[in-house]
């Protein structure tokens, strides 16, 4: 068998949740999806198929049927549920367009998406006439990040999230209303333009802090918060954020986000953003001096 990654491209494009090959005929015909390990597959019932019969048969000819495949239980609980945000493996891997169970492959795809989103953000932030950040802007960023991976990309979350001992419940009145309030009371200051870097950092910290307190999406809230922050910084002639800095200073970053979430204290996040901006400026100046 080929490595799973060599077979995955057309399945992502089909957004089929992982079709791999079909076997049998008539009523016995089944679709087999790649499982966690090479040579293992799980079967999707006919009622949950995502492709019509003609397309299924066409795609099935693209790859040879494996010899003696091992059939294992489907990892997707509630497969076919209308609420796709609930569907995940036992270890938390979300249902994706390719039915991929490889975290390495998912991470690679997410990295590609983040790069696409960053291109959009930099284009948005450098427009001749500075544009305000709207809810549509945020959803576009998330769709750029995950639109080729997850069926719920760009949609406000409908599930409770838990991470590192913190739980984000779905607001009783729904995430859509919460985000409208966020736009009306927080995003309304954008485009925020100032000659005072401290004011820019404080506003960026407030918007990022309140956004992270909401955690509006099923996945990718931290990464999309960074991209939101980049818009404000770049619109004011400052440098984009560096994911490495967040990973390096993770404990301080999480503490700053918690202060914003629980006490509406954005100063710690503002201070951290200022440190990172100072490092970025120093690197930029050093690079310019070496040319």
pLDDT in tens, 182-199: 999 999 999 999 999 999
Say yes or no: 50 and 124 in one domain: no
Q: How far is CA 81 from CA 31, 41, 261, in A?
A: 18, 21, 32
Instruction: Say yes or no: 144 and 189 in one domain.
Output: yes
Question: 256 and 119 share a domain?
Answer: yes
Structural domain includes residue 91? no
**CA dihedral angle for residue 237, residue 243, residue 245, residue 251, rounded to 10 degrees:** 130
Give the number of domains in the chain: 2
Q: What is the mean pLDDT of the chain?
A: 89
CB-hemisphere CA count at 13 Å for 267? Answer: 2
Torsion of CA 279, 281, 283, 284, to 10 degrees: 160
Contact yes or no for 119/185 (Cβ under 8 A) = no
Structure tokens at 71: 């059939």
Q: Which residue has the higher pLDDT, 79 or 136?
A: 136
Shared domain check, 175 and 33: no
Average pLDDT over residues 193-208: 98
Whether 35 is covered by a domain: the verdict is yes
Q: Identify whether residues 122 and 71 lie together within a single domain.
A: no
- Residues 162 and 218 grouped into a single domain: yes
Q: What is the pLDDT of residues 219-270, one digit of tens each?
A: 999 999 999 999 999 999 999 988 778 889 999 999 999 999 999 999 999 9
In a shared domain, residues 213 and 159: yes
Q: Which domain holds residue 227?
A: 107-289
Is residue 82 domain-shared with residue 168, that is, in the same domain? no
Q: What is the pLDDT of residue 10?
A: 66
Could you give the C-alpha distances from 77 to 80, 81, 89, 160, in angstroms and in order? 9, 9, 7, 17
Q: Quick one: how far is CA 136 from the chain centroid? A: 16
Q: How many residues are given for the chain?
A: 291
Predicted confidence (pLDDT) at residue 17 exceeds the cutoff of 80? no
Confirm whether pTM is higher than 0.75: yes
- 94-110, pLDDT tens digit by residue? 999 888 888 898 999 99
Residues forming beta bridges with residue 47, ordered by sequence position: none
In a domain, residue 118? The reply is yes
User: 146's torsion region: left (phi>0), alpha (psi -120 to 50) or beta?
Assistant: alpha
Q: Which domain CATH number covers 240? A: 1.10.3290.10
d(CA 143, CA 155): 8
Last residue of a domain, one of 51, 86, 121: 86
Q: Is residue 71 one of the residues assigned to a domain?
A: yes
* 126 and 73 fall within a common domain: no
Report the range of poorest mean pLDDT among 60-64, 84-88, 167-171, 176-180: 60-64
Q: What is the dihedral of CA 132, 134, 138, 140, to 10 degrees?
A: -90
What 3-state class would DSSP assign to 133?
coil
* Token couple for 249: 């200073």
How much of the chain, in percent, has pLDDT values that exceed 70? Answer: 96
Based on the fold, state whether residues 155 and 262 are members of the same structural domain. Answer: yes
Whether residue 138 is found in the same domain as residue 41: no
The verdict on 79 and 111 lying in the same domain is: no
């Amino acid at each position: 068998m080929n490595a799973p990654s060599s077979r995955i491209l057309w399945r992502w494009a089909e957004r089929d949740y992982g079709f791999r090959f079909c076997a049998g005929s008539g009523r016995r015909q089944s679709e087999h999806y790649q499982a966690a390990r090479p040579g293992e597959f799980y079967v999707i019932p006919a009622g949950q198929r995502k492709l019509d019969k003609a397309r299924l048969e066409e795609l099935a000819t693209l790859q040879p049927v494996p010899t003696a495949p091992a059939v294992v239980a489907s990892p997707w609980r509630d497969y076919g549920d209308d609420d796709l945000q609930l569907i995940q493996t036992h270890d938390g891997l979300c249902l994706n367009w390719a039915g991929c169970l490889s975290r390495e492959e998912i991470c690679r795809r997410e990295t590609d998406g983040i790069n696409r989103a960053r291109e959009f953000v930099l284009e948005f932030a450098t427009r001749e006439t500075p544009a305000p950040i709207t809810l549509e802007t945020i959803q576009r960023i998330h769709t750029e990040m995950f639109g080729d991976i997850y069926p719920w990309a760009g949609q406000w979350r409908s599930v409770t999230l838990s991470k590192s001992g913190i739980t984000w419940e779905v607001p009783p009145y729904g995430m859509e209303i919460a985000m409208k309030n966020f736009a009306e009371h927080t995003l309304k200051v954008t485009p925020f333009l100032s000659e005072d870097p401290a004011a820019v950092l404080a506003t960026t910290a407030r918007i990022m802090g309140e956004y992270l307190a909401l955690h509006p999406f099923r996945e990718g809230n931290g990464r999309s918060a960074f991209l939101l922050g980049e818009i404000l910084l770049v619109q004011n002639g400052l440098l984009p954020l560096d994911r490495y800095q967040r990973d390096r200073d993770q404990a301080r970053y999480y503490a700053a986000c918690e202060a914003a979430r629980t006490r509406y204290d954005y100063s710690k996040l503002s201070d951290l953003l200022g440190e990172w901006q100072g490092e970025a400026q120093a690197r930029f100046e050093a690079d310019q001096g070496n040319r």
